[in-house]
Amino acid sequence: MNEITIKTPDDWHLHFRDGDILAETVAATARCFDRAIVMPNLAPPVRNAADAEAYKERILAARPEGSNFEPLMTLYLTDRTTAEDINEAAKAGIKAVKLYPAGATTNSDAAVTNIDGLADVFAALEANNMLLLVHGEVTDSHIDIFDREKEFIDQRMGPITQKYPTLKIVFEHITTKDAAEFVLAAGGNIGATITPQHLMLNRNDLLVGGIRPHNYCLPVLKRNIHQQALRDVVASGSDKFFLGTDSAPHEQAKKETACGCAGCYSAWAAIELYTQVFDELGALNKLEGFASLHGPKFYGLPENSGTITLLKESWTLPESITLPNGRPIIPFMAGSEVQWKLKS
């Protein structure tokens, strides 16, 4: 197959950041996605409906001319989030809230230290048919970073799903065989997003032959057996798994430094890279489900009406991109050849 047309996809997990960078990040996503679940981990975070509405306006203002791209806003759960905040958010059309364990990742200092204290909030989510989006890693210092997702399943995810059996939960950016198996075995109210980097790479791509800061993200890349398990579940076509790039821009200087930030800026080629993976797996017929159908179904939203076409045509990702502030950012897979190209 040298050409594939699918319903216009959505990105169910994305970081736009804020300020003048929006001109870059919103355009990069809006080139092929109609909607995106926008992560709330700004500094300070998006904590209530008013914050989300204001942030949404800034994103809409940054859309390229003629774009109908729709940002789907989320709130950032803290220890102080109340059921009333959730009710207000539901009224404002907010679809989901994000649970970061405190200290798990970029700007997560304000996040939840005591999940058990959020019972009222989880009940309000369930009552309003809103989704809980979970960064599934424990942050205990004695737990090895490669085991933090598995540990989260045992300590947290299992108990939460038992206590709130109808709450819709997205296990975000899963990275392990354990998470894939957990989601497959769970009820229809549990889904998961998968990033391009966790399908394409494993921890050798981070550490062999020199440390590669642009492949560093959280949850960190795992062993190849985990990468293979993720590839297997997307190739299976299971509707519990859908596209979430976790495109997470950090300037070059913040990645290439003694203590570099986590996150891959993948928006420039995410849909093309996913297509390449499905092609490698002989599963191009499963791409549309993953990219365009399973997400809306899980969120209870309509599918997009348009289509996009990808051509099997190689092109090379730029080595560097200049941000609106004049500083460089290195896109995910910079300088590599990509086998599929979005037809403009």
Q: Is the CB of 45 or the CB of 124 nearer to Zn ion?
A: 45
Determine the size of the site formed for Zn ion (CB under 5 A). Answer: 1
Fill in the per-residue mask, 202 to 241: x = in contact with Zn ion (CB under 5 A), - = not in contact.
Answer: ----------------------------------------
Collapsed DSSP state (helix, strand, coil) of residue 121: helix
Residue ranges in 41-176 assigned as alpha helix (H):
49-61, 83-91, 119-127, 148-152, 158-163
Q: What is the Cα Rg of the chain in Å?
A: 19
Set 20, 232, 246, 279: catalytic member: 246
Q: Using CB under 6 A, pick the residue from 78, 81, 105, 215 that binds ligand NCD.
A: 105
Counted residue by residue, the chain has a size of 344
- Smallest gap, in angstroms, from Cβ of residue 84 to ligand NCD? 27
Region of residue 218 (left: phi > 0; alpha: psi -120 to 50; beta: else): beta
Tokens 């179904």, residue? 297
Q: Using CB under 5 A, pick the residue from 246, 249, 250, 293 that binds Zn ion.
A: 246
What are the phi and psi torsion angles at 90 (to 5°)?
-60, -40
Per-residue H/E/C for 170-235: EECCCCCHHHHHHHHHCCCCEEEEECHHHHHCCCHHHHCCCCCHHHCCCCCCCCHHHHHHHHHHHH
Footprint of ligand NCD on 126-155 (CB under 6 A):
135
Among Zn ion, ligand NCD, none, partner that 41 touches (CB below 5 to 8 angstroms by kind): ligand NCD
- Asked whether position 15 contacts ligand NCD by CB under 6 A, the answer is yes
- Asked whether position 246 contacts ligand NCD by CB under 6 A, the answer is yes
Cα separation values, 178 from 37, 92, 97, 136, 168, Å: 25, 36, 24, 12, 20
Q: Using CB under 6 A, pick the residue from 217, 221, 243, 283 that binds ligand NCD.
A: 217
CA dihedral angle for residue 145, residue 147, residue 149, residue 150, rounded to 10 degrees = -170
- Smallest gap, in angstroms, from Cβ of residue 25 to ligand NCD? 12
Q: Using CB under 6 A, pick the residue from 263, 295, 296, 331 that binds ligand NCD.
A: 263
Q: Is the CB of 98 or the CB of 168 nearer to Zn ion?
A: 98
Please confirm, yes or no, whether 246 is among the known catalytic residues.
yes
Residues that bind ligand NCD in the complex, under the rule CB under 6 A: 15, 41, 105-106, 135, 217-218, 246, 248, 262-263
**Active site (catalytic) residues:** 246
